[in-house]
Amino acid sequence: MDLKQGVSTWWEAITAGFGRQDGLEPDAVQLLLVIGIPLVVTLTPGIWRFFGMFVTFVHELGHAFAALMTGRVVKGISLNFDHSGQMNSFGKVGFSATWSGFWGYPAPGVLGLVLITSATQGWAPLALSVGALILLVALIFIRNLAGAMIAVVTAVAAQLVVVFLPIESISIFVAGLGTALAIGSLKDLVKVIRVHTRRRHIQQSDAYILAQGSSLPAGAWLSLFALVIIGCALFSAYILYSASTMSVG
């Protein structure tokens, strides 16, 4: 297969996702896959070391999308192998800076809810195709070598999934990815709370930075993070259970 054929095959796979299929109604085995595999991925240190980088990527993309929503200009995104990252933007101070600063930690949980909802409503192929395109576009914002490596691997993996994942497995994959992101978001929430309770590297915390630029203390921002993240996780669990065949009868 030459480059032209490869691009054509990729684009056909992308566009094939712009349609609807039957929504996921997981039976006991499928529900075990959708929940069990993400638990292994997020709770096994060796695997989390790598998947956590993707969660950080989503975290920083959350900042970037929120910044763009308020008219800020995104200068770039930096990612590191230790799960840290930074999104730089410029624009008016005040609401836009606060809005973009808030939507980092909640972003994986929100995306997880979107993916799970998409899977149960029949839009898993669309979610997969759009996600793959977004990850490709995001490459232009990366500004450091480690970030480029993380972003390229993530983007390539997304394209391979779109092209080679069997159509019958897409809904399960998307729901599982959503579950993994929801759990990852909860893990990062616990991590940032520990940063504040132990007061170590607190200056790097989004909650601390938001407190410096607003009238709310860091504790209030942590509470708002928790409200959104836990709310998304609970709603995701409710959607999965409601869609499952186990909830019938």
Could you count the other beta carbons within 10 Å of the beta carbon of residue 146?
Answer: 16
pLDDT tens-digit readout, 43-63: 999 999 999 999 999 999 999
pLDDT at 66 > cutoff 60: yes
Phi-psi region for residue 71, left (φ > 0), alpha (ψ -120 to 50) or beta? Answer: left
CA dist 139 and 247 (Å) reads 41
pLDDT tens-digit readout, 8-17: 888 998 998 8
What φ, ψ does residue 90 adopt, rounded to 5°? -135, 150
What φ, ψ does residue 245 adopt, rounded to 5°? -70, -15
pLDDT tens-digit readout, 199-242: 777 877 899 999 998 889 999 999 999 999 999 999 999 999 99
- Of 96, 98, 104, the closest CA to residue 77 belongs to 104
Q: What pTM was computed for the model?
A: 0.94
